[in-house]
Chain A
C-alpha cells in the first residue's frame, strides 16, 4: 500500500471510530466524577499490548539513549491506566486501539506507522470531549513513564538528587535540563 492510501484508509476508519468517544463523552463525564468500580477489570490483550509498545517506541525511540521499550513503558502504561484512570479513559483507550487494529497498524512499515500517528495527532485536536483521547493518553503516559524511569531520566537530564544550593545561572550551549 502506498503511504497516501494508507493515510486515506486510516482517515476513514479513524473518522468513524473517533466520533464515537466524542458522542459518548457526555454520558461518560457523569461516571468520571464518581469513584471507579471497574478499574480492576481493565486489561489489554496481547495484540493490544504489542500495539501499545509499538506506538510508545515510535514516540520515544531507542537512539543513542534507551527507548520506551527498554525502560518498560508499555507495561507502565497498562498499569497506570488500570490504577489511575477511570472508565471513560479506559473506553477511549480501547477504542483507539481498536482503530489501530482496524488499520492493521502492526503490519505497516515504520513510515506508514508514523503517518498514522501524525494523522491521529491532528485528529485528536478536533476532539472536544472531556475524556482524554487515545493519542493524548498514550503520549502522556509514554513521556511520564520514560522521563521518570531511572534509565530514561538519567540518560536525558542532569540528575541532581541533592542540589545543596540555589543559584541563578546562565545556560551553557546544549546544556541538558536538570532533574531532581
Chain B
C-alpha cells in the first residue's frame, strides 16, 4: 500500500538519519547540536535506556537455563547464536530474530544484528582504538583496492572529539602503530598479564597494553550531565548498563540529541527506499514500511545520513532505483555491496599459568589486554601475507567450571571448587581483511522478505591472505605464550566465516574517483551530494583494530561538513 503523502510540516525535517546504532546515534547528536531538526528512523522496536534492560539486574539463578543457548534460541537466532554468548538468555532477546529476518547465504556469513534502538552499540565489546597513519596510506602504497581520500590528520581532531564524549579508558603508550587518544584512567593489568607484558618487551620488543575501552573509569562533566555514572565492574555490559557506565547510543548520543529538543525518533520503521527527485537532482526523502502494520509512509529532508549498518545501508542503496540510478542509488561505480570486509576472528592460543597463586582480583574487569599489530610493521616483513593483526585476551583465575573437565566428585571435590582456581590465559587475533570486489552482498532478484523488500544475499569468504595470516595468528600466539613461560600452551582455531569478526564494513567505500568508489572525502554520495554514508559501509580498508570510534569520528566530521554546507546553501 502506498499512501504517497506529500511533503508537509509533519513529515519534513532538516535531516533524516537512517538507523539509531553506533553511527546513527552520533549523527543525530552532531546534527541536532548544530541546530538541525532531525528525524531518526529505526527499523526495530524501541528500547528505553535503563528501563528496558530487562535482564541487567537479574541474578545468575534468575536465568532458567543459566546462560546456555536453548534449542529454540539457536533456531530463531540461527545467525546471532553463532557468536560467543549471544544465544544466551541474558541477551538473546535483544538480538535480531534471524528466522523472521532471514538472509540468503550464497557463501556463509555470520551476520550479527540488533534491530532496536541503539543497534549493536548496546552489545558491543567497547574496545576503542584509533587507526594509525599507516592504515590510511597502506592501500595506495601497496596498490591494494583504492586509496583513501583522507588521511589520519583529517580525522585526528574528530577522534579527540568522539573520545571526549564517549569516555574511553586507556593507557598512553606513545606508539605509532596504535596512536594514543584522549583517555580516562586505565584499568589495571592483572599480575600474570603484567609479567607477560614485560616478557614480550624483553624478548620480542613487542608492546602490550591494557584494552582501551568505552567504560567510564572516571566520569567527567560531559558524562554525568547525561546521567552516566562510574563503572561498577560487574562486566555484564551486554545486557545494558543500569548506570550508563559504558557508551552506547542509548546512554550517550541519543540522550544528547534529545536534550536539544530537535530530535524525533520513529521506531518500527524500515527504510525501504531513498526517494530521488529527478528535477532537483537530489534525494528528497525516504520511504518507510512500518514493520508491524506494513503501512508505507514518506519523510522528507534536506540531507539524509545513512547509518543502517554497512550491509543494510548497501541493501537500501541497491533497492533505491530511479531513472537516474537504475543500478541502485549512487551506484554508477557498481561498488555498492562490494568489498565487504570484516576482521578475522576465532583463532589464537590458551595456556595455564603456574604461580601467582596469591594474586586475585576484586570486581570484574569489563576489558581485556591488547597486543598491537607487530606483523608487516617496522622491520618485520611477512612473505605469506599482507597487513597484520592485533590480539585481545587476558588472564583470569578458573572458576567452578574447571570441575567439569577434572577428575573427581564428592565432598572434597565440591569444597575444592569454592576456591579460586589456577590462572589461565587466552589470546585471540583480530586480523585485517583486504578489500576484494568479489566479497559482496547483493539483492536477490526474486525472493522478498515479508515486507516485500528484496532479500539480502551474502557472498563473501576468506581468501589466501586471510588463511596465511590465520596460521601466523595461531603460531605467534603459541610462541608468545610459551616465551612467557606459560604451560600447556594450546592453539585454537574455531571454524568460522566472515562476519564473525562483528566488524562488517566496506560496502559503499570512500574514494577520490566516482568510477571506483561511492563516497567522497566527506562521505557524500559522489552522484548525490545531499546523501551521506557514515557507517562501516564507507570504509576503504579495514585496519585490524576495532572500528566503531572511526565510524563515529567519520560521522562527526561529515556532520560538521554537512551543516556548514547547508548554511552556505551549498547543499
Contact = CB atoms under 8 A, between A and B. Distances in A.
A170 interface: yes
A171 B359 contact: yes
A170 B359 contact: yes
Contact of A84 (B70, B190, B418): B70
A163 B418 contact: no
Nearest to A62: B411
A173 B65 CA distance: 34
A136 B358 CA distance: 31
Contacts of B397: 177
A83 B400 CA distance: 23
Interface string B62-75: 00111111111011
Given A36-B71, A147-B400, A177-B419, A169 B362 contact: yes
Nearest to B231: A166
B322 interface: no
Nearest to B420: A177
Contact of B234 (A59, A117, A156, A162): A162
A176 B362 CA distance: 12
Contacts of A178: 362, 420
A80 to B, nearest CB: 6
Contacts of A175: 360, 419-420
Contacts of B190: 168
Contact of B66 (A36, A145, A157): A145
A115 interface: no
B191 interface: yes
Q: Give the most central of A36, A63, A143: most B CB within 10 Å.
A: A143
B417 A156 contact: yes
Contact of A169 (B70, B361, B365): B361
Contacts of A148: 60-61, 66-67
Given A60-B414, A143-B400, A171-B358, A35 B74 contact: yes
Interface string B408-441: 0111011101111100000000000000000000
Contacts, number: 140
B71 A84 contact: yes
A65 to B, nearest CB: 8
A80 B69 CA distance: 10
B71 A63 contact: no
Nearest to A71: B61
A176 B397 CA distance: 12
B4 interface: no
B59 A150 contact: yes
How many chain B residues sit at the interface, stated as a range, is 35 or more
Interface in B233-251: 233-236
Contacts of B409: 58-60, 117, 121, 139
B445 interface: no
A136 B401 CA distance: 12
A120 to B, nearest CB: 10
A61 B362 contact: no
B420 A171 contact: yes
B234 A163 contact: yes
Q: DSSP majority for the B interface?
A: loop
A84 B357 contact: no
Q: Give the most central of A36, A83, A166, A174: most B CB within 10 Å.
A: A166
B119 to A, nearest CB: 27
B395 to A, nearest CB: 12
Contacts of B61: 148-150, 153
Contacts of A163: 232-234, 362-364
Contacts of A166: 187-188, 231, 233, 361-365
Contacts of B570: none
A39 B410 contact: no
A168 B364 contact: no
B332 to A, nearest CB: 43
Contact of A167 (B235, B236, B361, B414): B361
A143 B404 contact: yes
Nearest to A60: B414
Q: Give the most central of B191, B420, B421: most A CB within 10 Å.
A: B420
B60 A153 contact: yes
B233 A164 contact: yes
Nearest to A156: B418
B403 interface: yes
A45 interface: no
A165 B60 contact: no
Interface string B169-191: 00000000000000000011011
B400 A156 contact: yes
B212 to A, nearest CB: 16
Contacts of B67: 148
A144 B66 CA distance: 8
A143 B187 contact: no
21 contacts: A35-B71, A35-B74, A59-B409, A61-B410, A65-B414, A86-B71, A139-B409, A143-B400, A147-B417, A156-B418, A160-B363, A163-B232, A166-B362, A166-B363, A169-B360, A169-B361, A171-B358, A174-B419, A177-B418, A177-B419, A180-B235
7 closest pairs, A vs B, by CB? A163-B363, A166-B363, A59-B409, A156-B418, A167-B362, A171-B360, A177-B420
Interface of B: 59-61, 64-72, 74-75, 78, 187-188, 190-191, 231-236, 357-365, 397, 399-401, 403-404, 407, 409-411, 413-415, 417-421
Given A60-B409, A168-B359, 16 more contacts: A36-B71, A60-B414, A83-B70, A84-B68, A139-B409, A143-B401, A147-B401, A147-B417, A156-B418, A161-B234, A165-B233, A166-B361, A171-B358, A175-B420, A179-B399, A180-B234
